[in-house]
């Protein structure tokens, strides 16, 4: 099937999946090179002898997991961008997937991206935990994402829809992004007031005229709360920030 779609089959993937004992123990390279082509930079890039010597340049690379230290050299060198590093030891629940990435903009560490599968379908939202920018501008960069453990052999690509959304400004006065608002909601701050107090969204010159409604929509989307019943923030005076000098001396026309 891969010959028709470019997407490997379940059997293809099973063949290159590192054994469970290995994945539980260490980070490893996963080489998704499904067809013989005359190419060997992965073998020459590996300083640890973790890729079996090629008898013929057309050989498909074979990895010796015990020797793989997950350094990522082969990921950067592979002309087919067909090598990935997975680390299922990352945390209790999450694994990391390191992918070669040659698009701009390069996401930053801490950004959230949409993790995609081998057919470009969204799998989950993923936090970028490491970005390795090529030393030379023409070198391949890599992006490492943290994903739920069960997706370590599914996620192989990313797009920046979440990134762009996350970097969309919600509160112009205080420069608060949609990503920050979503993060707060996911941490349990589900009222406008709580979000305002912790982020300052709505405390700038416009006093929430731009952001309040947008934040309400986000709360609704994330929690299912009804907009009508949503707890409103406390509206205090003054309705716009003013200099303290205005009040000095009390009332007066000039």
Partner 1 sequence: MITTEIAIIGGGPAGLSAAISAASLGAKVAILERDGRLGGQLIKQTHKFFGSEKQYASTRGFDIAKILEEEMEKYKDKIDIYTNATVLGLYEDGVLTIEHNKKYMKMKPEKIIVATGASEKFLSFPNNDLPGIYGAGAVQTLMNEYGVKPGNNVLMVGAGNIGLIVSYQLMQAGVRVKAIIDAAPQIGGYLVHASKVRRAGVPILVSHTIKRAHGKESVEGATIWQLDERWQPIEGTEKYLDVDVICISVGLSPLTEFLWQAGCEMKYIPELGGHVAIRDENLETSVNGIFIAGDVAGVEEASSAMVEGRLAGICAANSLGYGDDRFEELRRDYTEQLKSLRSGPVGAKIVSGLSKVTVKKQFA
Q: Of 11-70, which residues contact partner 1 (CB under 8 A)?
A: 32-41, 44-45, 56-58
CA dihedral 41, 86, 164, 119 (to 10 degrees): 80
- Strand ranges (E), 53-149: 83-87, 94-101, 112-116, 122-132, 141-148
How many residues touch partner 1 under the rule CB under 8 A: the total is 42
> How far, rounded to the nearest angstrom, does the alpha carbon of residue 227 sit from its chain's CA centroid?
30
* CA atoms of 139 and 76, how far apart (whole Å): 7
Instruction: Establish if 92 lies at the interface with partner 1 (CB under 8 A).
Output: no
- Residues 149, 156, 182, 212: which binds partner 1 (CB under 8 A)? 156
Q: Does 79 bind partner 1 (CB under 8 A)?
A: yes
Q: Output the smallest distance, CB 23 to partner 1, in A.
A: 21
Q: Is the peptide bond before 67 cis (omega within 30 degrees of 0)?
A: no
Closest distance between partner 1 and the C-beta of residue 159, in Å?
7
- Residue 148 as a binder of partner 1 (CB under 8 A): the answer is no
Other beta carbons within 10 Å of 31: 21
| Residue 118 near partner 1 by CB under 8 A | yes
Residue span binding partner 1 (CB under 8 A) among the ranges 111-119, 191-199, 202-210, 211-219: 111-119
85 binds partner 1 (CB under 8 A): no
């Amino acid at each position: 099937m891969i010959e028709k779609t470019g997407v490997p089959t379940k059997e293809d993937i099973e063949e290159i999946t590192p054994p469970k004992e290995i994945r539980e123990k260490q980070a490893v390279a996963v080489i998704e090179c499904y067809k013989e082509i005359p190419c060997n930079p992965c073998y020459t890039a590996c300083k640890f002898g973790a890729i079996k010597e090629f008898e013929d340049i057309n050989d498909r690379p074979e990895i010796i997991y015990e020797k793989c230290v997950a350094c990522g050299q082969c990921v950067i060198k592979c002309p087919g961008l067909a090598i990935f590093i997975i680390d299922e030891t990352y945390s209790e629940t999450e694994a990391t997937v390191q992918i070669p990435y040659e698009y701009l903009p390069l996401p930053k560490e801490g950004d959230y991206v949409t993790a995609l599968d081998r057919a470009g379908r969204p799998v989950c939202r993923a936090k970028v935990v490491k970005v390795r920018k090529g030393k030379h501008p023409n070198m391949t960069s890599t992006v490492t994402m943290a994903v739920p453990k069960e997706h370590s052999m599914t996620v192989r690509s990313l797009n920046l829809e979440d990134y762009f959304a996350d970097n969309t400004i919600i509160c112009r006065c205080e420069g608060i992004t949609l990503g920050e608002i979503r993060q707060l909601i996911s941490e349990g701050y589900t009222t406008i007031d709580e979000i305002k107090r912790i982020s300052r969204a709505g405390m700038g010159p416009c006093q929430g005229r731009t952001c309040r409604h947008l934040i309400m929509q986000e709360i609704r989307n994330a929690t299912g709360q009804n907009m009508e019943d949503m707890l409103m923030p406390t509206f205090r005076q003054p309705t716009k920030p003013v200099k303290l000098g205005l009040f000095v001396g009390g009332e007066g026309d000039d």
